[in-house]
Chains A and B, each alone.
Chain A
Amino acid sequence: MNGTGQQPELSSVVSAKGLDLTFQTNDGPVHALKDVNLEINKGDFVSFIGPSGCGKTTFLRCIAALETPTGGSLTVNGMTPDEARRKRAYGYVFQAAGLYPWRTIAKNIKLPLEIMGYSRQEQDERVRNVLELVDLAGFGGKFPWQLSGGMQQRASIARALAFDADILLMDEPFGALDEIVRDHLNEQLLALWARTGKTIGFVTHSIPEAVYLSTRIVVMSPRPGRITDVIESPLPKERPLDIRDSAEFIEVAHRVREGLRAGHADE
């Protein structure tokens, strides 16, 4: 139940064993990750939740090869994170949309496609497809400032989806948006996940968001950053927004909260 990956499954896409990461800072070493063991299976929707400094973003960045672990092993699709990145294993969505103001939405989505060398025709086709996927059809010619914050974030998700990566890594993608927009985007993200069957790693600090979205919730705690609990969600795959009032949902949320509290009590 705690997902430390005792039984090696063929469908495992991310596998971390005894992962350690220590940053050397001016104030001495900071233990960002300590002995992190986790298996993420194909098609999983895994949320990472915890207070700031618990290493949830750092772990995601390790998977994306944006940080290099100082100990333990980490494989993505059976390769090192670096190799996996070169094989375009994942798309990354940051907290801010980070669209280029000098490119239209369509041209922004083309950015990775240009770098990866897709043909002009294929680029257009893919842009059309992903714009439809995130409900932004017809907005390709607009500049980012002409779109609302929620639409911009959807465009950035489209950008991450454009090149067919199997894994979608999302670092608090809706953190800067208001509650109503967030609910809406969460619903859309689930629909997208159901349609595409991607594996999603999702960093958040909102308990309801984590419980609503995930098949598995990884609870983390800080100093040193570590996993304190991994919760398999009993909720069905079909999740209307009002599932959040169900007894099961409240129970899972309660367990997450307990896990977070336990992590704090350790200090």
Chain B
Amino acid sequence: MRQMLAVLTVVATLIGLWYLACIPMNMQGVLVEAERAGAEVSPPDAAVRREMGGVSLALRNGFAVPATWAQERPRLPAPHQVAVELWDTTVMKKITSKRSLVYHGWVTLSATLLGFGIGTVLGVLLAVGIVHSRVMDMSVMPWAIVSQTIPIIALAPMIIVVLYSVGVQGIIPKAVISAYLSFFPVVVGMVKGLRSPDAMQLDLLRTYSASKGETFWKLRLPASMPYLFASLKIGIAASLVGAIVGELPTGAVSGLGARLLAGSYYGQTVQIWSALFGAAILAACLVGLLGLIEKTVLKRMGMA
């Protein structure tokens, strides 16, 4: 109960700060509209106002404060505006509608899951190779690290162009970008996990003359499970980011990335923010789901 209260207090504080931030952010625009509507604003000269900060304008035009939370195209939409937009575009729209966030979310989610699957399989395979072969350890690991230093936003268009030129388009390029981001945490986590058994446990298997395969299946793999799940949680969030980024440079017409892009083209800040929150909620659900699977699996294994 106390914990609940603490959580709610933090959330309420954040929302309060958000409302406060809306006032100076949106004041300029609100005053322009108010002046057009014939209201008396201070100072009356638009050129002077443009030079002034949002806070001082708010202090001189207290009457305009409520309007900063109700603009049609605010610089910073208020929380309830985002919430209403989210509600309208998820629950109130048919999910087949091009304006439904569920529809766009599914487009992104399918690429995310495909990319996550590819990235996880690739990551696990690379980790197995790295743990068992010194050559792979020395040749693959540095490239895996270098691959993550290239900004994905720079790489994504190239991946899409290259794949398009060989006739691959649609969900695959997005999934590739998403796999590109998600394989890395899986590699790092799995290498660590597969190496987690200590010398004594490896010696024990040696006394049984166990093969490399038996050591892998009976010791290394089960021992790596907690590490794998930690990596998967990072990996799936990275996958979602990858899928969204993959939608940006193509001018895609559907997907959460497309919603972000369209929103910014037309100055639809409310749409941008609701797409952002849609993505965040989706990521939270995915990570939560993985957490649930983790708990079940580890409990079954007697490790939780």
Name the B residues within 8 Å of A92 (CB-CB): 203-204, 207
* Structural contact, B208 and A102, CB atoms closer than 8 A: no
- Using a CB-CB cutoff of 8 Å, which residues 77-106 of chain A contact chain B? 85-86, 88, 90-92, 94-96, 98, 100-104
- Using a CB-CB cutoff of 8 Å, which residues 109-143 of chain B contact chain A? none
- Chain B residue at smallest Cβ distance from A144: B302
* Structural contact, A90 and B214, CB atoms closer than 8 A: no
Q: What is the number of residues of chain A that contact chain B, defined by CB distance less than 8 Å?
A: 24
Name the A residues within 8 Å of B218 (CB-CB): 111, 114-115
Shortest CB-to-CB span from A181 to chain B, Å, is 20
Q: Complex: how many Å from CA A88 to CA B207? A: 8
* Structural contact, A100 and B219, CB atoms closer than 8 A: yes
Name the A residues within 8 Å of B222 (CB-CB): 100, 102
* Structural contact, B208 and A116, CB atoms closer than 8 A: yes
Chain B 270-304, CB-CB to A under 8 Å as 1, else 0, gives 00000000000000000000000000000001110
- Using a CB-CB cutoff of 8 Å, which residues 200-216 of chain B contact chain A? 200-201, 203-210, 214
Q: Determine if A155 is an interface residue (Cβ-Cβ < 8 Å).
A: no
Q: Complex: how many Å from CA A64 to CA B223? A: 25
Shortest CB-to-CB span from A176 to chain B, Å, is 12
Task: Take A104-B302, A114-B218, A115-B218 as given contacts and tell me if A98 and B207 are in contact as well, using a CB distance cutoff of 8 Å.
Answer: no
- Using a CB-CB cutoff of 8 Å, which residues 218-261 of chain A contact chain B? none
Q: Determine if A66 is an interface residue (Cβ-Cβ < 8 Å).
A: yes
* Structural contact, A98 and B302, CB atoms closer than 8 A: no
- Using a CB-CB cutoff of 8 Å, which residues 45-100 of chain A contact chain B? 64, 66, 85-86, 88, 90-92, 94-96, 98, 100
Q: Determine if A193 is an interface residue (Cβ-Cβ < 8 Å).
A: no
Contact partner of B210 (CB less than 8 A), chosen from A90, A98, A115, is A115
- Using a CB-CB cutoff of 8 Å, which residues 99-129 of chain A contact chain B? 100-104, 111-112, 114-116
Q: Complex: how many Å from CA A34 to CA B228? A: 46
Name the B residues within 8 Å of A143 (CB-CB): 302
* Structural contact, B209 and A66, CB atoms closer than 8 A: no
- Chain A residue at smallest Cβ distance from B203: A66
Name the A residues within 8 Å of B203 (CB-CB): 66, 92, 94
* Structural contact, A98 and B200, CB atoms closer than 8 A: yes
* Structural contact, B302 and A112, CB atoms closer than 8 A: no
Q: Complex: how many Å from CA A90 to CA B204? A: 12
Name the B residues within 8 Å of A111 (CB-CB): 208, 218
Task: Take A66-B203, A98-B201, A98-B204 as given contacts and tell me if A85 and B301 are in contact as well, using a CB distance cutoff of 8 Å.
Answer: no
* Structural contact, A66 and B200, CB atoms closer than 8 A: no
- Chain A residue at smallest Cβ distance from B198: A98
Q: Complex: how many Å from CA A143 to CA B304? A: 11
- Using a CB-CB cutoff of 8 Å, which residues 222-236 of chain B contact chain A? 222-223, 225
Task: Take A102-B303, A111-B218 as given contacts and tell me if A64 and B209 are in contact as well, using a CB distance cutoff of 8 Å.
Answer: no
Q: Complex: how many Å from CA A96 to CA B203? A: 12
Chain B 74-86, CB-CB to A under 8 Å as 1, else 0, gives 0000000000000
Name the B residues within 8 Å of A98 (CB-CB): 200-201, 204
- Chain B residue at smallest Cβ distance from A160: B207
Task: Take A66-B203, A111-B218 as given contacts and tell me if A101 and B303 are in contact as well, using a CB distance cutoff of 8 Å.
Answer: yes
Task: Take A66-B207, A115-B210 as given contacts and tell me if A96 and B302 are in contact as well, using a CB distance cutoff of 8 Å.
Answer: no
Name the B residues within 8 Å of A90 (CB-CB): 207
24 contacts between A and B (CB under 8 A): A64-B207, A66-B206, A66-B207, A85-B207, A85-B209, A86-B209, A91-B207, A92-B204, A92-B207, A94-B200, A94-B204, A95-B200, A98-B200, A98-B204, A100-B223, A102-B225, A102-B302, A102-B303, A104-B302, A111-B218, A112-B208, A115-B208, A115-B214, A115-B218
The 5 closest A-B pairs by CB, nearest first: A102-B301, A143-B302, A92-B207, A115-B208, A112-B208
Q: Which residues of B contact A (CB under 8 A)?
A: 200-201, 203-210, 214, 218-219, 222-223, 225, 301-303
